[in-house]
A and B are shown apart, each in its own frame.
Chain A
Amino acid sequence: QMTQSPSSLSASVGDRVTITCRASQDIGDDLGWYQQKPGKAPRRLIYKASSLQSGVPSRFSGTGFGSEFTLTISSLQTEDFASYYCVQHRFYRTFGQGTRVEV
C-alpha cells in the first residue's frame, strides 16, 4: 500500500513543492513518479526513486529509499499544474492516491 500526501495543494509560480509517498513495506528504490494532465496519458518524471527521466526539467527531483519517498519541484512553473502519482514496482504495482497541484 502506498500513502501519498497531500491529496491536493495550492501553490503559486515559483513555489517549492514537496509531495510525499510512504510504502507499507520496504520497496527499496522501486518507485516512480508520474505527472498527469487532463486528457493526457501519465508522463514518467522519476524512476528508481531518484533517476530523472530524460527530457524532464531539472526542477523535478526524487529522493528516498525503503519506505519514505519525496518528489520535489524546486520552482513551480505554469505547466506543472497537474496531478502527480507515485507508484511502487516491487510488489505488483500500486499507485498512491495522487496529488493535485492547483493554482
Chain B
Amino acid sequence: QVQLQESGPRLVKPSETLSLTCNVSGGSIDIFHWSWIRLGAGKGLEWIGNIHSGGRYTYNPSLNRRVTMSVDTSKNQVSLILHSVIGADTAVYYCARDEGGGGWLYWGQGILVTVSS
C-alpha cells in the first residue's frame, strides 16, 4: 500500500521560504508524477504543480514564479519550495500521486503551514 507523509516547518515568516518534503513508502516514486495541492482557510483546493520522477515539472501559472519542486529518487522523496510567502499561503499542504487524467488516488495526510511573524 502506497503511503505518503508530508513534513517540514509548520510556521514560516512572511517573505521567507516554505519548504516541505513528501516521503513516499510502499512503492517507488519512479514513473509517476507527484502533485502538491493545498487547502487554504476558508478556501477551496488549489493545485500547486506536479513533478515527474525524471524531473520534468509543471506548475500552476498563478504560482509559477514562486514554486520550485524537486525529486530525490534515492530517498523516495518529493520536495516543494514556495518562495516569498504571504499570509494567503497559510494552508494545509498535501502531496499526492498524480495519475494524469485519472487524478489522485493516494494522498498524504496533509501538513498545516501557517505564515505569520
Residues of chain B in range 98-117 having any CB-CB distance to chain A below 8 Å: 99-105, 107-110
Question: Are A89 and B100 within 8 A (Cβ)?
Answer: yes
Question: Are A95 and B45 within 8 A (Cβ)?
Answer: yes
Residues of chain B in range 33-69 having any CB-CB distance to chain A below 8 Å: 35, 37, 39, 44-47, 50, 58, 60-61
CB-CB under 8 A for A44 and B103, given A92-B58, A92-B61, A93-B35: yes
Question: Are B102 and A32 within 8 A (Cβ)?
Answer: yes
Complex-state Cα separation, A89 to B104, whole angstroms: 10
Main secondary structure of the interface of B (DSSP, over half): strand
In this assembly, does A67 line the interface, its C-beta being within 8 Å of a C-beta of chain B? Answer: no
Question: Are A41 and B47 within 8 A (Cβ)?
Answer: no
Main secondary structure of the interface of A (DSSP, over half): loop
> Could you tell me the distance in whole angstroms from the C-beta of A15 to the nearest C-beta in chain B?
23
Residues of chain B in range 58-111 having any CB-CB distance to chain A below 8 Å: 58, 60-61, 94, 96, 99-105, 107-110
Question: Are B60 and A95 within 8 A (Cβ)?
Answer: no
Chain B: CB-nearest residue to A89: B101
Chain B: CB-nearest residue to A28: B101
> Could you tell me the distance in whole angstroms from the C-beta of B48 to the nearest C-beta in chain A?
9
> Could you tell me the distance in whole angstroms from the C-beta of B32 to the nearest C-beta in chain A?
14
Contacts of B50 in A (CB 8 A): 93
Question: Are A93 and B47 within 8 A (Cβ)?
Answer: yes
Contacts of B47 in A (CB 8 A): 87, 92-95
